[in-house]
Amino acid sequence: MGNGAPFVPGRVFSKVPGVAYLLVVLAVAFAIFESRFATVANLLNVGVQSSILLLLALPMTLIIMTEGLDLSMGAVLSLSTVVMAFALVNGHSVVAAVARGAFVGLAFGAGNGLLVVVGRIPPFVATLGTLGIAQGIALVATDGQSVVGVGARLPALYRATWLGVPFSIAVATAAYLVFHTLLYHTRFGTYVPALGGNPDALVLAGVRAKTYHMAVYALGGLTAGFAALLLTGRMNSGHPIAAIGMEFDAIAAVIVGGTSFERGNGWLPGTVLGVLTVGILKNGVDLMEVPSSLQVASIGLLVIVALLVDQLRGRLRGRA
Amino acid sequence: MRSVGSRLIVLAVLSIGLAAATNAFLTVSNLLNVLRQASLTFLLASGLTLTIVAAGLDLSVGANVGLSACLAATVIKSTGSIAAGVAAGFVCGVVIGLLNGALITALRLPPFIATYGMLWVLHGITYWYMAGETIHDFPQGFRSIGSGYLLGVPVPIYLMAVALAAGGLFTRYTTYGYELYAVGANGEAARLSGVPVRARLNLVYMLSGAMAGLAAIVYLARLNSAEADIGEPLTLPAIAAVLIGGTSLFGGVGGLFGTLVGATTLTLVLNGMNLLAINANWQPLVTGAIVLIAVGVDIATRQRMESRA
């Protein structure tokens, strides 16, 4: 299946992952059974809660398309909230603080890229190692405590709305547009699916495949570091383990969104659907006062069910 | 095997360094303590090793320990029977392993996804089941599984020795063992040569679940207390032990002895950091660095050998 022109209607239908149906079913069910669900305020809330996850899931889509993985994103995001909070505590401007956080993320992403592409260490292992390193640095730097006293500027920015759109939704939308353009309208984007499946063909075609491959990981780190802007704003502080495990939510969202681990094909709008489904599921069961323990289980079930739906559709299509 | 040899040398150098750096290291009680810690990690990592040898993965082992341990704890408390509790924990582990196998072989989900989804489902069920309770104070007979001694040696070390011997015989001297390596090295080739790939994968996930159930009983007996989050900190050290031990995520390479060396190395380093009074916050960083170095050196060596050949 081609990678360009993602909005041709016939093609879109065959690409729509099973999670789209789950999303509709969930939304309708919550709207019927829970009167507080289908309100503008609540749906905006879902968007706000989903925006950080989207920032991780977008680059994760590209990384998984290269048949890779980045387990370090949650730890890098946490470390960046610490770096950002320290910069703000020390009186730096919001821009300088965000730049520092994003730079730390970029450094880790580039490190992942070097380990995977030059060191040829399997992505699972390489990013598990950098997960430990990022988490360790954050814990040692803060002694495991929150970094408080970030001042009022970043939280104020986080709470700002533009024409009724919360800041975090605006940031997430902008990030989506950037990634959509990168993946579907640049040369870099055309190479992404081939990097995992057939890098030799790229090299024979004269493409500096290694550079592009490393860039995919660097982009992941950079975006995770940048996402600390939203997390630090939301928490009003930095915390060394604030986002530990969030990379798994991101992987879940990407996978249920129809991007496959094995075939190098991915669909960025599907990732948005995946993120929204995770967000709506969490929000809906929360409103229905399901014990938080079973909310955790519901995400696991979502992953399994969404993939099963896709498999079933694949088999039916194979038979047709 | 050569790579395990080089790992043993690293382990020896580490031990000598620690013995030189602190008097508290080279005492019988500390060394037994290190081995007891390592044996807990090994029990959990051994089943995981087999799944990775077969080019799979079991991310649910820690969560499996959580549910199996909590179930064993409630059964012991409500029936008063140690045997019933042990059986409940073990069977729970096996059933989870069978479910993982079914998701992977019958429904054809990628192992990463299936066992990751299982991880969250198990976490959720365990938290719901325990409802914030802590169960503690088990009968002495049960606690001795985790903290007892036999002839001056902690009981978990015997369990580790038995698991290693049985696992070693299984992987080296049975057709099943060879077939696991064949499935891991090249699943399609194994299938074409008549290996029942699905049946072997089912077996391997069941074994991984069974070892997690066993580890759950030992952890529970050692901690003498069960909470919903009992298994959470165990997954990453288990994966790290397997990787440090030289088992490759690509499948077909590695084994249980390597995992034993990996678990011991990891425990030794963390023990040494404790003895040297290094802040525990450094532990994730050090663990991550060891994994990267061990796997990185492995891959670099293999590439050099391949380019020479």
For residue range A202-237, list pLDDT tens digits in order: 888 888 889 999 999 999 999 999 999 999 999 999
| Cβ atoms within 10 Å of B250's Cβ, excluding its own | 12
- Number of domains chain A is built from: 1
- Number of domains chain B is built from: 1
pLDDT at A7 over 70: no
- CB contacts, 8 Å: A252 with chain B: 116-117
Which of B112, B127, B281 has its CB closest to that of A139? B281
Query: Tell me: the pLDDT tens digits for B61-77?
Result: 999 999 999 999 999 99
Sign, CA torsion B190/B191/B192/B195: positive
Mean pLDDT score of chain A, rounded to an integer?
Answer: 87
- CB contacts, 8 Å: B126 with chain A: 293
Q: What's the pLDDT score for residue B202?
A: 95
Query: Tell me: the pLDDT tens digits for B80-126?
Result: 899 999 999 999 999 999 999 999 998 888 898 889 889 989 988 99
pLDDT at A256 over 60: yes
Which of A130, A295, A303 has its CB closest to that of B117? A303
**Which residues pair with residue A101 across a beta bridge?**
none
- CB contacts, 8 Å: B239 with chain A: 128
**Are A125 and B107 an interchain contact pair (Cβ–Cβ within 8 Å)?**
no
Range A137-162 average pLDDT = 91
pLDDT at A58 over 90: yes
Range of the domain at B94: 4-306
Write the CATH number for A204: 1.10.3470
**Are B281 and A143 an interchain contact pair (Cβ–Cβ within 8 Å)?**
yes
Measure CA of the first residue to CA of the last residue in chain A; give whole Å: 17
pLDDT at B236 over 90: no
Task: Specify if A1 maps to a domain.
Answer: no
Number of H helices, E strands in chain A: 14, 2
Measured CA distances, A129 to A119, A123, B52, B133, B285 (Å): 13, 10, 18, 34, 8
Range of the domain at A149: 9-313
Tokens for B240, please give them.
């790290």
Task: Specify if A2 maps to a domain.
Answer: no
User: Which is more confidently placed, A204 or B50?
Assistant: B50
Write the CATH number for B280: 1.10.3470
Chain B CB within 8 Å of residue A292 CB: yes
Query: Tell me: the pLDDT tens digits for B180-199?
Result: 999 988 888 999 988 899 99
Which of B109, B112, B128 has its CB closest to that of A294? B128
ipTM: 0.82
Task: Specify if A320 maps to a domain.
Answer: no
**Are A128 and B120 an interchain contact pair (Cβ–Cβ within 8 Å)?**
no
A5 confidence band (pLDDT: 50, 70, 90): very low
Q: How far apart, in whole angstroms, are the C-alpha atoms of residue B59 and residue A62?
A: 23
Which of A122, A136, A144 has its CB closest to that of B285? A136
pLDDT at A4 over 70: no
Percent with pLDDT over 90 in chain A: 49
**Are B120 and A121 an interchain contact pair (Cβ–Cβ within 8 Å)?**
no
- CB contacts, 8 Å: B110 with chain A: 261-262
